[in-house]
Amino acid sequence: MSTKTYDSIVIGGGPGGYVAGIRLGQLKQKTLVIEKESLGGVCLNWGCIPSKALIAAANFVEKAQHGAGTMGITVSGVSVDPTKLQAWKNSIVKRLTGGVAQLLKANNAETLAGTARFVDAKTLEVTTANGVERVTATKGIIIATGSRPVEVPGFAYNGKTVISAKEGVSLDPLPKRLLIIGGGIIGMELGGVYSKLGVQVTIAEFMPRVLASMDEDLTKPVIKAMKAANVNFVTGAKATGYTTQPDGSLRVSLDVGGAVQTVDTDVVLVAVGMRPNSENLGLDKAGVTLDKRGHVVIGEKCETNVPGVYAIGDVAGGPYLAHKASKEGEIAAEVIAGHKSARDWRAIPAATFTHPEIASVGLFEDEARKKGLDITVGKFPFSASGRAMAVLETDGFVKVIAERTGKDKKDAKIIGVHIVGPEASDLISEAALAIEMDAYVEDMGLTIHPHPTLGEAMMEAAKAAIGEAVHIPNRV
């Protein structure tokens, strides 16, 4: 068997892998990207992008049905064609995945469709449609194999009535009833989508509350809005199994504090998290170390314990975020090419595309208090924002958390910003930059923000942290 040689090889073409491939190409490295399914990975094919397209459509339906009348606009005959909706969503996916292929080619990175396994730390065997090929890398191999949905005992996926998020973005026809097991980000996002599209949604969460990793004040506006959209929540609930009814529907059993409750549904969507794709790669042949959860252990340069073998994205540990994977892809590529680069960020922003949206960067308030930090907190509600009123999006707030570093009240460095409300996912980038730059609340407060915009809430919340907010009463 002949062996083809490259400077670098990337296993996986998701948002970490394809970015690494592009960056390696930019740095004049002869590069191969191996992908066993579709370029773009989970994010482009059935995660980030498809779900956000559906969320946008669902929000549009809700505005037409419930918001337009408030503005004096009469809308009638609103209906959803799930087949056309899926075709539109799929067209976006096709454009983006096709764009990834073109970008790799434009940067002289080769691609190979197949499944890779390590032979040793520098060599891979790739099973393709045409047989097995052997490839080797002289400078580095990057593991970017991502993650997959966790399966719950008693709820094996069948792709039709018991599904994961992969099938959850492709429901056509829409079921009448949908039970979602898991009230985390995926479950809450898709629950919001389908409730707005007319599906009767129930969300069962094992923890005492949904979105339990976030401060409770951030989640309250979301829960309130979803309950208003007739989403039913069952918390403290463990799904134990189901039976198939004569009509083909499912009767799901939930253990809620020792008492059994049943929920009748047409489809069960399991959304309890993701697990790393580190099996079946032959990592033992390369000598790569894994942690107890199956993540590849890496250092600040994304390198594993084996020189020349790197790992990025979900397979290398949380947070499971596409933009974190992309950043690590750039870092690993630059290190391989001989540049100085490292995982030296201060904080990684995250966004939850519920309605209203939630976005966070840095420490949560509860987290900061548990650490014993001397903090000041500023909040500005969107109900006081003229722009928010104009777009019928007044639920939520911006919260700025700052650590006091001196005697003057203005000596307070921003360590966390959390937003629940309109366009939170776009607004959070300013906060990420503030933390990265070691900004103080006065810096953000003194920065002139255009009026009337949602971004003014950032400025006002920063001012509120030091008692200088203009458009709300100060409590500091």
Q: Do residues 312 and 143 lie in contact, with contact meaning Cβ atoms separated by under 8 Å? A: yes
- How many CB atoms are closer than 10 A to CB 33? 27
Residue 113: both structure tokens together = 């469709």
User: What are phi and psi for residue 102, nearest 5 degrees?
Assistant: -65, -40
| DSSP labels, 305-354 | SSTTEEE-GGGG-S---HHHHHHHHHHHHHHHTT-------S---EEE-S
Q: Got the DSSP string for 458-471?
A: HHHHHHHTTT--SS
Q: How far is CA 107 from the centre of its chain?
A: 27
Active site residue 451: yes
Distance in Å from the first CA to the final CA of the chain:
72
Report whether 141 contacts 308 (CB < 8 A): yes
- CA 209, 184, 462 angle in degrees (round to 5)? 80
Alpha carbons 176 and 163: distance in angstroms, whole number: 15
Interatomic CA distance for residues 454 and 398, integer angstroms: 10
- Select from 186, 161, 166 the least CA-distant residue to 176: 161
Give CA separation, 363 vs 110, 368, 375, in Å.
Answer: 41, 6, 11
Which of 66, 418, 451, 471 is labelled catalytic?
451
Query: With contact defined as beta carbons under 8 Å apart, do 7 and 110 qualify?
Result: no
Integer Cα distance of 84 and 428 in angstroms: 33
Q: Under a CB-based contact definition with an 8 Å cutoff, are residues 413 and 439 in contact?
A: yes
Partner residues linked to 163 by β-bridges = 269
The C-alpha atoms of residue 142 and residue 16 are separated, in whole angstroms, by 10
- Contact indicator for 19, 75 with CB cutoff of 8 Å: no
Catalytic site positions? 451
